[in-house]
Amino acid sequence: MRVDAVTLFPEMIDRPLSESIVGRAREEGYLKLGFSNPRDFAGDRRRTVDDKPYGGGTGMLLMAEPVYKALLKVRKKNSTVILLTPKGRRFDQSAAQALAKKKHLVLICGHYEGIDERITPLADMELSIGDYVLTGGEPAAVVVIDAVTRLIPGVLKKSDATVKETFTGGLLEAPHYTRPGVWRGKEVPLALLSGNHGRIEDWRRARAAELTGISRPDLLPTAAKTRPRKKI
pLDDT tens by residue, 137-182? 999 999 999 999 999 999 998 766 565 555 557 899 999 999 999 9
Residue 27 within a domain: yes
pLDDT tens by residue, 182-231? 999 999 999 999 999 999 999 999 999 999 999 999 988 877 644 444 44
> Which pLDDT value is given to residue 228?
44
What CA–CA distance (Å, rounded) separates 208 from 224?
A: 12
Give yes or no: residues 63 and 175 share one domain: no
> Which pLDDT value is given to residue 123?
98
pLDDT tens by residue, 14-62? 999 999 999 999 999 999 999 999 999 998 999 999 999 999 988 999 9
Residue 11 within a domain: yes
Residue 75 within a domain: yes
Give yes or no: residues 126 and 197 share one domain: no
Between the alpha carbon of residue 19 and those of residues 25, 28, 36, 152, 217, the distances in Å are: 9, 13, 21, 17, 34
Residue 159 within a domain: no
pLDDT tens by residue, 61-78? 999 999 999 999 999 999
CATH number, domain containing residue 130:
3.40.1280.10
Residue 61 within a domain: yes
> Which pLDDT value is given to residue 165?
55
Structurally, the chain folds into a number of domains equal to: 2
What CA–CA distance (Å, rounded) separates 174 from 213?
A: 12
Nearest one of 191, 221, 186 to 207, comparing CA atoms = 191
Contact between residue 191 and residue 199 where contact means Cβ atoms under 8 Å apart = yes
> Which pLDDT value is given to residue 167?
59
E-strand stretches of the chain = 2-6, 32-36, 50-51, 61-62, 79-90, 104-109, 125-128, 182-183, 186-187
Contact between residue 131 and residue 82 where contact means Cβ atoms under 8 Å apart = no
Residue 158 within a domain: no
pTM score, two decimals? 0.86
The DSSP call for residue 113 is: T
What number of residues does the chain have? 232
Average pLDDT on 77-95 reads: 96
Give yes or no: residues 65 and 103 share one domain: yes
CATH number, domain containing residue 232:
1.10.1270.20
Give yes or no: residues 108 and 192 share one domain: no
Domain boundary residue, one of 98, 123, 149: 149
DSSP string over 161-186? TTTSSTTTTSSPPPP---S-SEETTE
Give yes or no: residues 20 and 125 share one domain: yes
Give yes or no: residues 173 and 77 share one domain: no
> Which pLDDT value is given to residue 224?
61
Give yes or no: residues 63 and 33 share one domain: yes
Give yes or no: residues 13 and 109 share one domain: yes
pLDDT band at 232 (very low <50, low <70, confident <90, very high): very low
Give yes or no: residues 211 and 172 share one domain: yes
Q: Which residue segment(s) compose the domain that 202 sits in?
A: 164-232
Domain boundary residue, one of 115, 149, 183: 149
> Which pLDDT value is given to residue 221?
85
Give yes or no: residues 29 and 138 share one domain: yes
Give yes or no: residues 142 and 172 share one domain: no
